[in-house]
Structure 1
């Protein structure tokens, strides 16, 4: 897990633990996928894979290393998106926690369009520091 290139590309996996990251890297390497192969797909959110798959060509996956490689790459795009969804939920939770300092749960629930019972469950007092600071496509 000490390959800096893999760690840069799989930064969204750090929260999953060392074993998961090592197993993920091993699967990619067994399929012949390098960090350089994976990074562009994470950066475009899977746009090129989707376009190729949607085009309907029988050999659409060949340009990306074949069906096995595509399956792994698409799963990793999903893992990145899941990470970003969790990050957004963390931010939302911090915001709700702050709103509850000023407003009732009923008022916050109505303003956000969630059930009153859900408001306290969504509130989080801090943002987890293990989330990515920037999405891969932010350009910074």
Structure 2
């Protein structure tokens, strides 16, 4: 399912089916096998976690989870559904961040490939702060169309 920048929202609407809500919230898992995504949804459902809750934590990058965990308060995880729910939510934040890291690396590789068309590997390596040998490894230009076009926390007005 493609995202529509400035036209859609990560938060599911009340008219969306449960499957549509999960597809929207887990858009960063497009490359995962359908069975993997189904397992993720099953685990969230079993822990009582809704698509809206997942969306909320993806949108804040796990800030509230981190603040609560680092507070040292007793039973801090209860407000988020308990330790199991928090573990699943934190894992999903991590999965989204991994997706965004891969997306950024893809953009960097396209730029390095373009730089190598004009400059030597030594010049490019020096300019971006990597070893000359690493430049060729990094220069695999391809921006995968399955990457998210926007981050979940971006205002989609």
Same-fold call, TM > 0.5? yes
Residue 86 of structure 2 corresponds to residue 70 of structure 1: yes
Alignment of 1:10-89 (within 5 A): 10-89=26-105
**TM-score normalised according to structure 1 size:** 0.97
**TM-score normalised according to structure 2 size:** 0.86
Instruction: Give the corresponding residue for 1:98.
Output: 114
Aligned length: 139
Instruction: Give the corresponding residue for 2:152.
Output: 136
Runs (5+) with no aligned partner, structure 2: 1-17
Instruction: Give the corresponding residue for 2:141.
Output: 125
Report Cα offsets for 1:85-136 as digits up to 9, x if no partner. Answer: 0000000000001000100110000000001001111112220111000001
State the distance in 2 between where 1:16 and 1:96 align. Answer: 27
4+ runs of 1 displaced by more than 3 Å?
none
**SS at 2:149's partner residue?**
coil
Cα root mean square deviation, aligned: 1.0
Pick from 25, 31, 41: which aligns with 1:9? 25
Higher relative contact order (CA 8 A, sep 6+): 2
Report Cα offsets for 1:49-107 as digits up to 9, x if no partner. Answer: 01111111111000000000000000000000000000000000000010001001100
- Structure number with the higher helix fraction is 1
**SS at 2:76's partner residue?**
coil
